[in-house]
Structure 1
């Protein structure tokens, strides 16, 4: 067995960022930009009204003004505003040439085509979005390495880009093994358990913006698992197997991986839960063999799989690491790093009940995991411990 730190280091050494490719803006959400984006135009491209009202020359604000025209959003022509004149204007419309201020329609009176301004607080340039106020032509609009949030997508659309260069996100295959598994919603027969690992893994992947997911089911037979694993390798960049990584008579993951030409990087980590964790590689594709117990699966996902996927997608880590004050005593034997399901709040962290690897009820209440170091045995209330906070 290797240490937790060694396992994490080996994974990072053996995964690389995915290639760059162009995508349409409509499909770019969640990806990471591979190149800086510069503004091709001033945005706005003209002096623009920020509300419905009247455009005028500020120096004329104390005069009765003749309303000489109207500017609507999307108008294709502009007219000249002369001294003593004003123009009706609407939100988003260009200002007439010569105008520099917009007064709100609620702060004027209009009689017989003449405008009187009642706004005693009116200042020059008020209610005007200036040319290039959002971004100036040629300026850096958004930097490479930025993850494309909904707001970033809207901003990029607003400066006129329809296609972007982004890092690919990995396709992920999930192989669930075990003849004892029954799908939720069906009748549970004697000896069966409901299959939950594919659901928790799929939800965790989707929560992190990874949606190219394929699901496979394999019985506890070496030949069948080998064939399913080979198929998954052809269709995915990362393959996650759940179950079958221990040393029982029906645990075939290691042998199936060998038959598929996967190079084992490590098998077994000095940790609880998740000691049988397997990691292998075939060319640029990586394979994780996760233990079958549901709590172990999700613990290993956050500690090992998610950081690998984020490096492949060139994303920043979503698993925050903080120090927190332990609220109760804990003890364990030396020799294994322990990850405890926990609840973090306002700098304090409390281990939850039901830490066994098959139990998910406490995991469903957890918002993080406490790491208890390998060689330490006693942890007292009030001491600081490392906590991994789950993505939200």
Structure 2
């Protein structure tokens, strides 16, 4: 049984990045860049007006003759005299010998001339060429997550395709004779199966929308057969249940019979101790505990960083927080504890219902409070470390 820190390091070392592909910018949401992107143009590509108003060459004068119009899309490089101005609109080309734009609200105008009532400073309301980014500058570094704003910015630069890491294909195998799908009749001795939809939702937060779910009874032959097919099709396989040491827990044996390399089994933590992590070729296998809170805890601690590593994220671990504890904590287990908790700007409260089978408090928690295995007690008002999960 290994320490939490060792398990995290092993997962990180074995979750290698996915292959690279070219993708249309319009379809790149949620992908991570595999290489830096260089701007092919200046943005803006010409001096633009930041306001609707009048462009002129700044001087001590307040009255100017109107000699033309520049609207968005025009490129009329009117040569202005010091006594002249043009009507101009937001985003429009500013003539080379105009250096200032006065807002229309600050002038009195007729068809022939304007009188500036509130004179702006020189260069006001003129966006310089390349103000956002210059040609040849780095738009985004490698390992940048593509967001809606990033897609908009790339499109504004005329960039059509980018190199990204592929998203891993994911599958979930659910074990357990006692499980029935929600919506079916709940007979005595049965419980509704929730782990698959919970884990699917967790995977969706990383853009893995097409997770395939398989189900198998607690039977070695059936489990081995199901895994034989799944392991060859997916990059990440999550298994729910069947990984402890009971008479009907066949997952570990079925994995080993399918030539999955065991990287670790069992972690000195609570909840979530009975977990198997292994690999076959480039496929990662996480056999998670069947208890829902244990399964979700290990998803946050081990699965999520592995997915982010494979997808190419620069930072795969969420930054931890420090808060003041609202009440004493005892740790008599000799294990690292992950306690469902809720924090605010300064304090953190450990929630009731810490059982590995309970999701009710997990559903309102925004963090896991970490109690290292060496710590036997935290006193009220001590500073403690949190893993945010909101």
* Band of TM-score, shorter chain: over 0.9
Match of 2:238 among 237, 240, 243: 240
1:279 and 2:264 are equivalent in the alignment: no
Quote how far apart the aligned CAs of 1:359 are: 0.6
Determine if contact 1:54/1:102 at 8 Å carries over to the other structure: yes
Match of 1:71 in 2: 70
Name the CA distance, whole Å, in 1 between partners of 2:322 and 2:114: 64
Name the CA distance, whole Å, in 2 between partners of 1:97 and 1:269: 69
Question: How many equivalent pairs are there?
Answer: 389
Moved more, 364-373 or 326-335: 326-335
Quote how far apart the aligned CAs of 1:164 are: 0.8
Give unpaired runs (5+ residues) of structure 1. none
Moved more, 102-111 or 207-216: 207-216
Match of 1:301 among 296, 299, 302: 299
Name the CA distance, whole Å, in 2 between partners of 1:81 and 1:225: 81
Name the CA distance, whole Å, in 1 between partners of 2:96 and 2:13: 61
Match of 1:313 among 307, 311, 314: 311
Quote how far apart the aligned CAs of 1:112 are: 4.3
Name the CA distance, whole Å, in 1 between partners of 2:111 and 2:37: 51
Name the CA distance, whole Å, in 2 between partners of 1:251 and 1:389: 32
Name the CA distance, whole Å, in 2 between partners of 1:259 and 1:15: 22
Determine if contact 1:183/1:195 at 8 Å carries over to the other structure: yes
Q: Deviations over 1:127-151 (max 9, x none)?
A: 1111111111112222222222222
Match of 2:148 in 1: 150
Quote how far apart the aligned CAs of 1:77 are: 4.3
Determine if contact 1:277/1:290 at 8 Å carries over to the other structure: yes
Match of 2:9 in 1: 9
SS at 2:232 equivalent: helix
Name the CA distance, whole Å, in 2 between partners of 1:59 and 1:331: 75
TM-score (normalised: structure 1): 0.93
1:96 and 2:95 are equivalent in the alignment: yes
Determine if contact 1:87/1:96 at 8 Å carries over to the other structure: no
SS at 1:335 equivalent: coil
Name the CA distance, whole Å, in 1 between partners of 2:111 and 2:263: 85
Determine if contact 1:241/1:288 at 8 Å carries over to the other structure: yes
Quote how far apart the aligned CAs of 1:32 are: 2.0
Quote how far apart the aligned CAs of 1:295 are: 0.2
Q: Deviations over 1:52-79 (max 9, x none)?
A: 111212237423x222221111125433
SS at 2:278 equivalent: strand
Name the CA distance, whole Å, in 2 between partners of 1:112 and 1:366: 65
Name the CA distance, whole Å, in 2 between partners of 1:5 and 1:350: 24
Q: Deviations over 1:254-306 (max 9, x none)?
A: 12212322111121112111111001110111100000010000001111111
Quote how far apart the aligned CAs of 1:34 are: 2.0
Moved more, 259-268 or 375-384: 375-384
Determine if contact 2:20/2:165 at 8 Å carries over to the other structure: yes
TM-score (normalised: structure 2): 0.94
1:56 and 2:52 are equivalent in the alignment: no
User: Cα 1:43–1:376, aligned 2, differ >3 Å: closer, same or farther?
Assistant: closer
Match of 1:35 in 2: 35
SS at 1:364 equivalent: coil
Determine if contact 1:170/1:212 at 8 Å carries over to the other structure: no
Name the CA distance, whole Å, in 1 between partners of 2:330 and 2:52: 68
Determine if contact 1:60/1:83 at 8 Å carries over to the other structure: no
User: Cα 1:200–1:116, aligned 2, differ >3 Å: closer, same or farther?
Assistant: same
Name the CA distance, whole Å, in 1 between partners of 2:321 and 2:192: 34
Quote how far apart the aligned CAs of 1:110 are: 2.2
1:196 and 2:197 are equivalent in the alignment: no
